[in-house]
Amino acid sequence: MGLLSSNFLRDVAIGAGEAYLDKRKTARDNIVEFQTRAIKMKEELEKKYQESYDERKKVAEDFKYVATQVGESYLPQLNSFMNQGGELQQFNNMDATAVKNVLDADRYKEKQDEFLPTLAEQNKLKAEDLNKQLQDRLGIFDNTASVFTKDIVTKGMQGIRADVGTIDAEKIDSRVSVGKGIQTSTQPTISDINKSKTTYDNTKTVTKDSLGNETITNSATTDMIDSKKEQFKLAAQISGASFNDDLLLNAAVSSIGNPTYSDDVTAIYNQSLSILDSEYTTAKENNDTSQMAAVINQLNLLGFTTKANELNTDLTNYQKEQGEKADTAQEEIVEQTTTTDIPGTKVVQKGKGVTIETEQYISPEQKDANSKVEVTEDFIKQVMEKNDVDRNRAIEILQMYGYTQFPDKPKSKGLPFSPGNR
């Protein structure tokens, strides 16, 4: 076999050089393509992490909420419940008492590890696992390098890793601070009810005339209890609950002067606020200003004046935005109030003297709205009957509430043939 010709060797050298350049060009092109794929890969894995993080964060928030409801004494049972695979959604429609009943099961009484730190650790491990998946996938491209392209691939991957970065784990706060929780509402005993009845009766003054006929006079406290009782009754109607008069009276007597008193009646009363707030929002979404005004009126009747004033301002602004008359809803509110709430007065002790005031606080806005209402004789009669006063005093009471438009006093008719009646 002879030696290879010089021409053959030259051709081989040229061919090898071209192949070398082609491989390096291909490597560069592949790096550009792989960079796009790598960034997309990172985005997909990051999305997976975010979904798992959002779920765990929601669980942590729900856990803390339930913990504040049941209190610190039930925190160990709640940890046990969650560590055993419990679902917090189970408690969605339960009050604190019902949740405690679930956690009182024997299998939850054995003390276990705290749940939130475990949840935070799971979140951290999830990020680490996805980062490993990302690096494993990036490493696949490292293995494509040859002796001709190793330097290009190595430098290219360094740039890609810098651009892609890592999936950073967001922190889940594992701290939980709870107090005593919501105290279980109490059902009054027969003794409690009888005591409340006696207290209520003692707020009244009973006098007898010479013939032994009794006259019962309500005190300011009596009127206050009656008003509170009616508020509780209205709240029950709004919430769809039903309480007899004894339970309503007991709640009214017990809650006056004791804002922390709690029973089933007061719980429903507080619930009615959120119900009405939701009804107002729905009415606003439906552009039903009449219903919005009705909700405000009910809030006033229930004594939630701060919320009523807030929504009344919102309604006025909303009407202006809709091009309606700003006082339309106010008139509706007043109209409803005058048919369901008869003005009255109460005696208030101030120092050594006493003053006569309206039964409930009347805001300047309410007085202004009342001033636009034409008072009827029938309404005056209702005020007379409620307060046991004559017509003139009834008008004075109405004036305390801001009413100004009164009918002329009816003229008494004389005999058919007396002068001036022919």
Q: Which residues contact 229 (CB under 8 A, 6 or more apart)?
A: 248, 249, 251, 252
* Predicted local distance difference test score (pLDDT) of residue 23: 62
Say if CB 23 and CB 149 are below 8 A apart: yes
Is residue 416 exposed (0-12), middle (13-18) or buried (19+ Cβ within 10 Å)?
exposed
pTM, two decimal places: 0.38
Please count the helices (runs of H) and the strands (runs of E) in the chain: 15, 4
Say if CB 327 and CB 318 are below 8 A apart: no
Tokens 């006056």 found at: 256
Would you write out the chain's pLDDT as a tens digit for each of its 422 residues?
A: 344 444 444 444 444 445 545 666 776 777 777 777 777 888 888 888 889 899 988 888 888 888 877 888 888 999 999 998 888 888 877 777 788 888 888 888 877 788 889 888 988 898 888 888 888 777 665 555 544 456 666 677 677 777 777 888 888 887 876 665 544 455 677 778 888 889 999 988 888 888 878 888 888 888 889 999 999 999 999 888 888 888 899 999 988 878 788 888 888 898 899 899 999 999 998 888 889 999 999 999 999 989 999 999 999 888 888 765 445 555 555 444 443 478 888 766 555 555 677 877 777 778 888 888 888 888 898 888 888 888 888 898 889 888 999 888 765 444 343 334 43
Report how far residue 328's alpha carbon sits from residue 63's, in angstroms, rounded to the nearest whole number: 46
* Predicted local distance difference test score (pLDDT) of residue 12: 42
* Predicted local distance difference test score (pLDDT) of residue 179: 60
Total count of residues recorded for the chain: 422
